[in-house]
Structure 1
Amino acid sequence: MQTASAVREQAPPAASTGHPKGLYLLFATEMWERFSYYGMRAVLVLFLTKAMMMDKAFASKFYGGYTSLVYLTPLIGGYISDRYWGNRRSILTGGLLMALGQFTLFASASNYGPASTHELSHWLLYLGLGTMIVGNGFFKPNISSMVGSLYSPADTRKDAAYTIFYMGINLGSFLGNTITSLIGDKDGHPELFRWAFLACGIAMVLGTLVFNWGKGKYLHTPEGEQVGETPVHSGGVKGIFALLPVLLALVLGTLWLDSAKFPTIAPLLGLAVVGIAFMIFTDKSLTGADVQRVLVIFIVSFFVVFFWAAFEQAPASLTFFADEQMNRTIFGYELPASIFQNLNAIFVVAGAPLMAMVWTALGRRKAEPASPVKMAMGLALLAAGYLVMCFGVHNLMPGVKVSMFFLVALYFLHSAGELCLSPIGLSLVNKLAPLKFSSLLMAVWFLANAAANYLAGYMSSLYPDPKSTAPAPVLLGFHITNLYDFFLVFVVSAAVAAILLFVISSKLAKMMDARNLAPAV
């Protein structure tokens, strides 16, 4: 049997100019799933503060705990997929669970009202979010890894394919965010949040049906071999279903303990990093080249924590800012605070085709920067976005609201940075991961997102609430007394991470062994 590195060393077959139809099936499936996730996430912190009556700091940490677990459970889902279920069964199961979770949130928001039903609403909130966390664990790593399996190992179209796939993510985000913001985010009407959750549940059902319809016809390799099916000689396929209630109970317990009692998710993240590193690096079948490539995945994943921790302020502190500190009125109509998160999706959908063309053109001329350099560019653009916000809020007088121009500029720069980092990182993981650990190492990429989202929730809890009489939040001895101080923290952290990644990028490129990979990484 050939090793993963030996397969990569073979010359790729001549690539056609188009993309396989399976890419567009995965595009549509992911679009509806992202409608569901981002549509719900757009209004989540507002639902927590305006309907569930949580304060901003608690709601931020609760949001961070939820989103971190969303990215942590792919470690379990990726492992089960590799060993037992395969990509297809995992995606279908995850999709159904996420739809069920959204409908449970609809029930939670529908029970909102008198004190007698408020406790039930809270328990339904936990149950709905927990079900979606488990479902995402099976769905997310598998659909991402399937994109790369449609192409030959060294096909130079992979970066462009992941950028197109990423465009589907943002199209779904745009549709979901727009609909849930318009039907659910109405000042003084918290009972309307339920319709946002209902729309997200319907979208998730549509995505699951689309995937089930086209999986047998379109999901195959260039040679016609079906991909994502149940692994040969896998045992306990049905037995895994019996473990789902146990997994749900563990997720619910972790979320409740972390939000209501004491931190539990942060230690889990540390254990996950150690455990998965041990599992991979002690595998005797990996070659020295494989080990170096896996190390690159771990190193760049560390740096993306800094990116996403700042980027994921969009549905948390930046939504608080838009709700309270920004002039949202256009032609006499006040826009919902949550709808500004749509700017990211708009800019990415518009910019993704252009970025794909740029990478492809540079690749033909052997001038495309290596993936670590692209990702460092993304961090630099992130820092620039928060620097713009610093100018907007500097010396801001009490009662004065900021022009929406500054938030629009931030989202533009962040979206450009995202296009330099996220789809490139997905492609990088797919190219570098040994075949036997493909889904599990894709989950490592999402583990970095888990740590970043948890950190994002903590950072959002430091948001300086002008209505609060509590002492100013403190971070590493730095007192955050106003919005300028708050945004400056992200400028510094992202800029330092960008510089460090630029410095070590040449070393990482050597570890990736560029001779045996497509140059356009």
Structure 2
Amino acid sequence: MAYPKSVWFIICNEFCERFSYYGLRTVLVLYLTSILQYNDDQSTIIYHMIVFLAYFSPLFGAIISDSYWGKFKTILYLSIVYAIGNLVVTGASLADSFSLNNQRYLALLGLVLISIGTGGIKPCVSSFGGDQFELPAQEVYLQKFFSIFYFSINAGSLISTSITPELRKDVQCFGRDTCFPLAFGIPAVLMVISIFIFISGKPLYKIKKPESNVIVTTSSCIYNALKKKLSLFSSNITKSHWLDYADDKFSEKEISDIRSALEVIYLFIPFPFFWALFDQQGSRWTLQATLMNGRIDFLNWTMKPDQMQVVNPLLVLLFIPIFEVLVYPLLAKIGIRKPLQKIALGGFLAALAFVLSAIVQNMIMGKAIHIDAGNGQLRLFNGFNCNVTVKSSANLFDHNLASLETLEIREIKVSNETSFPISLFIDSSCSSKLSETNLMSNVSIVEGKETSYFITHMNNKLNLKRIGYVDDLTKHSNPVLRIINSDDLSNKVFTMKNEESGKTAIELNLQTLTTIISVPLGKYRVFIDETFLTELYLLPFSVNTLTLQVNSEKISSHLAVLEKGNYIHIAWQLPQITVMTVAEIMFSITTLEFAFTQAPSSMKSLLAAVNLLTVALGNLIVVIVSEVRYFDNQAYEYLLFAGLMALDMIVFILMCSKYNYKNYSEPNEQTKLKT
């Protein structure tokens, strides 16, 4: 018998659909943060809610397909919903004339439609391809089809994961230094093309009519068993298993198959925690990568933060044959042979990957200011382009503060709040511009805080102004910039332009004395009223103070870095990605094998659906943790997930201790326990 030509339409359709889904998903979290202006936590929540819906809707797609529409109509109708969602998201990224809220609503609507579409067709496409073969005559062809089908999935995801970040970052459009409309538009076009390809193959398809759905049948059996058990609660009627109470409506084989499936589903309970960790590669780990240096000098190319997601599928393809030939035989020699053992080991490796991500996060953050109990700190910012002598009557310091210099006194013994007098004397080179060249004033030091003062002028007199505490400047992933300016610069237009793109990143009117902003890391050119002033290089997790003052009719500026972050190379993410990839191979692929071999043939689609549901629930866990946001330090959140994953696997091992492996290879499908 000839190889069915119809399957090539299905394979091409799957390639285009996976290109569309992974292309959009790769750049999604950066679109949410940079264009829709959600913060990191909000973006993480939205990202994982979309993934949750994408893996929850297969349940409904399977029910609709098997009970009502059939596979062809389900794929067609939901693909149209999918394509509309793509177009809506692309339109939202183009809608600059809309208010920010309207852009957000439009984008979220499109993302929901995409999730419903991709999830709804997920359980149908591969099985529809399988329907095109005559079995058992074309069994060999069927195996080749699934191999080609799996290759098309990985090819689509690999190509889109590589290309869409380039379109997002390296192409500039519509007045922005990014081009999300193109990054979303090409996946949208591919999705529309996939629909036309799928429809074109209709004359060749073998289309089966919908039959009863195993999910509906299983749910009905469980419902009837529980209902009858409760109604007979007060009677003396007992059954060997609670599912046997449904024997009036379901056959002995149906009940036996469902019982076997439930034994496997029971072991699936801890699985969502793995997916909670795994899927953060597209959210938290991508946001972490935005704080790292992706420059590869010998290639004269910069790795985009979202492109790090391509490393995982590449390593999967590389590692699978290595595991089959080398790793699994070695593990067998130390007693790790059974699927549940491999799954548990994979879970522990996922925990290790998050420990590594916490280490990288701490490397990026650098050290924060630490003040011991009973101490306070003082910073004095000299706004003059000449020397200022600073003396304290308490003999705490006597310092000649150079032009635009910052004086840091890191240890001052203090209880609660203490004030003491200081004297300021300005150098003669500046004295001719001031009517008073010295000043007696008081400074206050607060226990456990770093207090800042600005040495400036007001009404041609030397002046000392308190500008608050350093710890008022919360340390974020993006650099924090505090601008201190003299009064004569108030209401001047302060502009920061990205040095690479030339685009305006920040434009604001300077306030009286101080302004605090958060900006993306990078190199900037600073302008005051369109006149170039200076260049700034702001690192991640840094807290910076920029002093601005008019001296001799010119604006003087100086940047003081109060807390430093580290701009480490993006390659530091490779260890955590590698360990997570190994965890995926041992956990995810082994789970598929375990579910397939440990359930009767009638229940395999049910277990596939429940396995997808664990992915959905895992993403829901991330949403809950991000919503609670117990930790300000992201590294602590990574460690929390690592600890929960390790604890989860310990529980899983206890749950597996009494499990008996089954063998359904016999023709009559009678369960045979393995020794």
| Residue 70 of structure 2, aligned match among 74, 79, 86 | 86
| Residue 388 of structure 1, aligned match among 356, 360, 365 | 356
Cα shift at 1:216: 7.2
Distance 1:371 1:128, change over 3 A: same
Distance 1:377 1:309, change over 3 A: same
Structure number with the bigger relative contact order (C-alpha 8 A, sep ≥ 6) is 1
The DSSP-based 3-state class of the residue aligned with 1:53 is coil
Matches of 1:87 and 1:518, distance apart in 2: 34
| Contact 2:21-2:118 within 8 A present in 1 as well | no
What is aligned with 1:454? 620
| Residue 189 of structure 1, aligned match among 173, 176, 183 | 176
| Contact 2:58-2:119 within 8 A present in 1 as well | yes
Matches of 1:358 and 1:42, distance apart in 2: 32
The DSSP-based 3-state class of the residue aligned with 2:568 is coil
| Residue 75 of structure 1, aligned match among 42, 59, 67 | 59
Matches of 1:276 and 1:70, distance apart in 2: 27
What is aligned with 1:249? none
Matches of 2:359 and 2:314, distance apart in 1: 24
Aligned alpha-carbon RMSD (Å): 4.2
What is aligned with 2:208? 229
Matches of 1:504 and 1:510, distance apart in 2: 13
What is aligned with 2:499? none
Matches of 2:33 and 2:125, distance apart in 1: 33
| Residue 262 of structure 2, aligned match among 283, 288, 295 | 295
What is aligned with 2:637? 486
| Residue 250 of structure 2, aligned match among 274, 284, 295 | 284
Cα shift at 1:400: 0.9
Cα shift at 1:109: 0.6
Matches of 1:169 and 1:203, distance apart in 2: 14
Q: Please state if 1:95 is matched with 2:117.
A: no
Matches of 2:597 and 2:224, distance apart in 1: 20
What is aligned with 1:313? 280
Task: Name which of structure 1's ranges 25-34 and 51-60 shifts more when overlaid on structure 2.
Answer: 25-34
Matches of 1:159 and 1:387, distance apart in 2: 39
Task: Name which of structure 1's ranges 173-182 and 433-442 shifts more when overlaid on structure 2.
Answer: 433-442
Matches of 2:568 and 2:672, distance apart in 1: 46
| Contact 1:163-1:356 within 8 A present in 2 as well | no
Matches of 2:658 and 2:144, distance apart in 1: 25
Matches of 2:282 and 2:569, distance apart in 1: 19
| Contact 1:181-1:338 within 8 A present in 2 as well | yes
Task: Name which of structure 1's ranges 159-168 and 116-125 shifts more when overlaid on structure 2.
Answer: 159-168
Aligned pairs (5 A) from 1:74-473: 74-111=58-95, 113-114=96-97, 116-145=98-127, 165-185=149-169, 189=176, 192-212=179-199, 229-231=208-210, 278=223, 284-285=250-251, 286-324=253-291, 326-331=292-297, 333-355=301-323, 369-394=337-362, 396-397=366-367, 398-431=564-597, 439-460=605-626, 473=629
| Contact 1:78-1:137 within 8 A present in 2 as well | no
Cα shift at 1:70: 1.3
Matches of 1:159 and 1:381, distance apart in 2: 31
Cα shift at 1:483: 3.8
Q: Which amino acid aligns with 2:159?
A: L
What is aligned with 2:461? none
What is aligned with 1:498? 649
Aligned residue-pair number: 433
Q: Please state if 1:45 is matched with 2:29.
A: yes
Matches of 2:84 and 2:613, distance apart in 1: 24
Cα shift at 1:156: 12
| Contact 1:292-1:511 within 8 A present in 2 as well | no
> Could you list the per-position Cα deviations for residues 284-321 of structure 1 after superposition, in whole angstroms to 9, with x for gaps in the alignment?
23545413331144234323201110011112111111
Distance 1:70 1:44, change over 3 A: same
Matches of 1:71 and 1:441, distance apart in 2: 14
Identity across the alignment (%)? 25
Q: Which amino acid aligns with 1:143?
A: V
Distance 1:394 1:126, change over 3 A: closer
Rg larger in structure? 2
Distance 1:319 1:196, change over 3 A: same
Distance 1:405 1:22, change over 3 A: farther
Distance 1:90 1:509, change over 3 A: farther
> Could you list the per-position Cα deviations for residues 187-213 of structure 1 after superposition, in whole angstroms to 9, with x for gaps in the alignment?
993761111111111222344445455
Distance 1:292 1:62, change over 3 A: same
| Contact 2:597-2:664 within 8 A present in 1 as well | no
Matches of 2:273 and 2:109, distance apart in 1: 30
Distance 1:100 1:358, change over 3 A: farther
Cα shift at 1:99: 1.8
Cα shift at 1:376: 2.2
The DSSP-based 3-state class of the residue aligned with 1:60 is helix
| Contact 2:598-2:661 within 8 A present in 1 as well | no
> Could you list the per-position Cα deviations for residues 202-233 of structure 1 after superposition, in whole angstroms to 9, with x for gaps in the alignment?
2223444454556776x8xxxxxx5x622269
Matches of 2:164 and 2:68, distance apart in 1: 36
| Contact 2:354-2:639 within 8 A present in 1 as well | yes
Distance 1:295 1:51, change over 3 A: same
> Could you list the per-position Cα deviations for residues 359-391 of structure 1 after superposition, in whole angstroms to 9, with x for gaps in the alignment?
9999xxxx9944333322321221222232234
The DSSP-based 3-state class of the residue aligned with 2:661 is helix
Cα shift at 1:67: 1.5
Cα shift at 1:461: 5.4
Cα shift at 1:429: 4.1
Matches of 1:127 and 1:67, distance apart in 2: 14
Matches of 2:565 and 2:153, distance apart in 1: 37
> Could you list the per-position Cα deviations for residues 407-449 of structure 1 after superposition, in whole angstroms to 9, with x for gaps in the alignment?
1121122122222233443454455556666545432222111
What is aligned with 1:62? 46
Matches of 1:176 and 1:279, distance apart in 2: 47
What is aligned with 1:222? none
Matches of 2:323 and 2:84, distance apart in 1: 36
What is aligned with 2:444? none
Question: Which consecutive residues of structure 1, in runs of 5 or more, have no partner in the other structure?
Answer: 1-18, 220-225, 235-272, 463-472, 475-479
Matches of 1:358 and 1:506, distance apart in 2: 27
Distance 1:402 1:295, change over 3 A: farther
Matches of 1:21 and 1:495, distance apart in 2: 48
| Contact 1:307-1:379 within 8 A present in 2 as well | yes
What is aligned with 2:377? none
Matches of 2:145 and 2:627, distance apart in 1: 37
